[in-house]
Structure 1
Amino acid sequence: FFESSDLINWRKLSDFDRNWVFECMDFVELAVDGDSSNKKWLLYDASFDYEIGDFDGTEFVTDRQVGKGDYGNHYYAAQTFNNSPDERTIIIGWMPTRDKNIFIDNDMPWNQQMSFPSTMELRTTENGIKLFRNPIKEIENLYIKTYSYNNKSINYINRSLDRINPKLIDLSLNFKPIDNDEFKINIRGHEIIYKNQHVEFQKTKIPAKPRNGKISIRVLLDRPSLEIFVNDGENVMTTYSVSDKKNTDVSLSSKRNMRINLKLNELKSSW
């Protein structure tokens, strides 16, 4: 850490040395559980590993517990917006391509993209204070139609969803999981599976321990990308996944015809 009064001459204050630290660092102060009188600092790097602690203006002190801000392979070098008028802390991440470029492979007119902006909040959990991240509320400006199902069976919801053909989607659901059962979401050919306290997509497992007996999953599907928010943003995955242009189906499946709560919002383009 350094300080300067003129941005030209700098004085070293302290060191923060960790083996997870890489590049594109950001350092933000956040209220814990929405309490403005109880704030902590969060330091994260490009890969979105992070630590939470206290900063006295000179030294950053933590318990050295490292959190994982995103479980996907396509969320990098994220940065926050400063001085939001409503005091929200909003973050947006770059989604780099990795082993192959899906934009070139699919003849798209642009190359790579940013994630959907999300809020950053610190909340107290049974495992200590953690970062929670959720899409900003302004996504509602993109909603075209909303379909809501409260305490309806999977079969009932599937029959209703079979009549619509959404392309861009903001889907939220919650349910009481059944031991050793697989609950599947098929969204335009992308299969998301919940089983044994994990949500799995593209062979990546996202921790998903029931909260108050329920699991909540939110999925944002754009043309080339998919973002998953588990348990109100406790764990998040950002990744690329191109939908089949001919497949606009959304359906659910489970060994039992359980009742769930689901809301599906069709989105328009932001352009």
Structure 2
Amino acid sequence: MTQKLPLNPNQWRPEYHFSPSEGWLNDPNGLVYCDGVYHMFYQAGEHRRRWDHATSEDLLSWSEQGTKIQDTQSVQSFSGGAVVDRGDTADFGENTLVFTYTGHHDDGTEDQRLAYSTDIGDTVRTYNANPIIESATGDFRDPNAFWYEPDASWRMVVSRVEGTRDRPAGIEVYSSDNLRDWAYESTYRDTDGEEWECPSLFELPVERTAESRWVMIVSSIENCSVEYHIGHFNGTEFVAEDVILADYGYDFYAAQNWENPPRHGELVVSWMNNWAYADNGPNPGWRGVMTIPRTIALHNVNGDVKVHQYPAAEVARMRKNVITDLSQETVVPDENPLEQVDIGNRTLDIVATVDPRNADTVEFRVCEGRTQASSIVYDTVNEELHFDRTNAGAFFDNDAYGTTSMPLKLREDGTVKLRILIDRCSVELFANDGRRTMTNLVYPDRESTGVSFSSEGGAAEVERLMVYGLETS
């Protein structure tokens, strides 16, 4: 990897993804919606973690609200979640925002703590009887509470990354009537020995059926990736029936869902980075970006329940102009139907439906300049989608993190459908109506704004290709 800093520190600052005005950002924390406002707390402080706060009414334009849970001389404030205590079960007042988080002590031990806000996040107080779950060991973190309607009480999931003499590694489930006193219920164990953190647990309907499933989100430390575990929860134990990789890119980690979402489906956001290189990436005075919030839904696919993921609906509202609109266009090798199109935008929403026909590969090149491009290739022979950022600009070159792939079968009509979201430092792919996703950082030069399309080994047909310029209001 190589690093080339821009002359302008905002060259790569995203237009519609959240990034801090200055300093460090990693895990999203305390995601909660209340009174028309999305709240996003997050891990700030490169060397000592604390909770900073941002708010938005549309998930795209964010206002920073400052630090809300400080670190102290001996305890850092690690990740956790948030709920709206509508019924005042914790005795802090109706509709109080209650936060659960990990206290990371300088000796390495980690315990679980509580904080709350009675003014919708303007001020946050730490609970004076912390910790709410004591611990004499480390690697025990990321508490995330939720309301369990069947018995009208609270549940919380916490990651025990490494097992102890008394408890196995896995995701622990706790119960409580008041958010302050918690009882251990069970551990959802990983039989393959993976180390997990950043858990969430929620129920979703299976679209167009009378069924539902519970979804547990975990982040795999070893692979720096996110998994959706699909299964059943009875209030005490979670049992999985399938595990799905959430994203096939390198930069989707520590995902968390919004508590109390205002609409059908769950909204999820993640840190767009990777611990393999996060500490070494370009540092123009701010470091860290969140992914676009995405809606996740469950679908019955040939008898199996699968996750589909879509960009939040608000993204489409940013479409300010149609840069190009192609339909029913045959493309032969060495031909680029976008050659005469002046893209000129660094923020794009590309929606394409392509029939590969007899082509071996079809390729989109985005963030393209004279010598740069991010390459998106569909391989019809192996039914795979490849992403290559080895020539995408600063930092990433031909190393282990330069290319990635994901399995992707053609749709029933023989086409592949892609939605490609481009911001100044990222490319996010949603393939075949959200069946697969891929998220990657890129650091192109400012003038690398081109988009091209080509086929190899035969002709392909562009059934529809729309390129929209995006702009936040």
Q: What TM-score comes out, normalization by structure 2 length?
A: 0.53
| Corresponding residue for residue 466 of structure 2 | 263
The alpha-carbon deviation at position 53 of structure 1 amounts to: 0.8
| Corresponding residue for residue 140 of structure 1 | 316
Q: Distance in 2 between matches of 1:222 and 1:15?
A: 40
Aligned length: 264
Which protein, 1 or 2, shows the higher relative CO under an 8 Å CA cutoff with sep ≥ 6?
A: 1
The within-5 A match list for 1:1-271 is 1-18=173-190, 19-35=193-209, 37-46=210-219, 47-63=225-241, 65-97=242-274, 98-99=276-277, 101-104=280-283, 108-126=284-302, 128-146=304-322, 147-154=324-331, 157-160=337-340, 162-178=341-357, 181-188=360-367, 189-195=373-379, 196-202=382-388, 203-212=403-412, 213-255=414-456, 256-260=458-462, 261-269=464-472
The alpha-carbon deviation at position 117 of structure 1 amounts to: 0.6
The 3 A distance-change label for structure 1 pair 92 and 177 is same
Secondary structure in 1 aligned to 2:282? helix
The 3 A distance-change label for structure 1 pair 251 and 179 is same
Deviations along 1:44-73, one digit per CA (max 9) or x if unpaired, are 21231121111122222222x321001122
Paired amino acid for 1:167: R
Q: Distance in 2 between matches of 1:50 and 1:159?
A: 40
Q: Distance in 1 between matches of 2:273 and 2:345?
A: 26
Secondary structure in 2 aligned to 1:122? strand
| Corresponding residue for residue 67 of structure 2 | none
Q: Select the structure of larger CA radius of gyration.
A: 2
Q: Distance in 2 between matches of 1:102 and 1:225?
A: 14
The 3 A distance-change label for structure 1 pair 135 and 21 is same
Deviations along 1:124-180, one digit per CA (max 9) or x if unpaired, are 2247211111101101222121232222234573245x2332221111111222456
Q: Distance in 2 between matches of 1:73 and 1:137?
A: 24
Stretches (4+) displaced over 4 A: none
> Bigger CA drift: 125-134 or 193-202?
125-134
Gaps of 5+ in 2: 1-172, 220-224, 368-372, 389-402
Deviations along 1:196-252, one digit per CA (max 9) or x if unpaired, are 211101321111101112111111111111111111111111111122322221110
The alpha-carbon deviation at position 81 of structure 1 amounts to: 0.9
Q: Could you tell me whether the CA contact under 8 Å between 1:192 and 1:200 is conserved in 2?
A: yes
Deviations along 1:7-51, one digit per CA (max 9) or x if unpaired, are 23222222210133511101121111254x311001121231121
The alpha-carbon deviation at position 89 of structure 1 amounts to: 1.0
The 3 A distance-change label for structure 1 pair 81 and 52 is same
Secondary structure in 1 aligned to 2:338? helix
Aligned residues: CA RMSD = 2.0
Q: Percent identity?
A: 28
> Bigger CA drift: 253-262 or 201-210?
253-262
Paired amino acid for 2:467: L
Q: Could you tell me whether the CA contact under 8 Å between 2:336 and 2:452 is conserved in 1?
A: no
Q: Distance in 2 between matches of 1:153 and 1:163?
A: 20
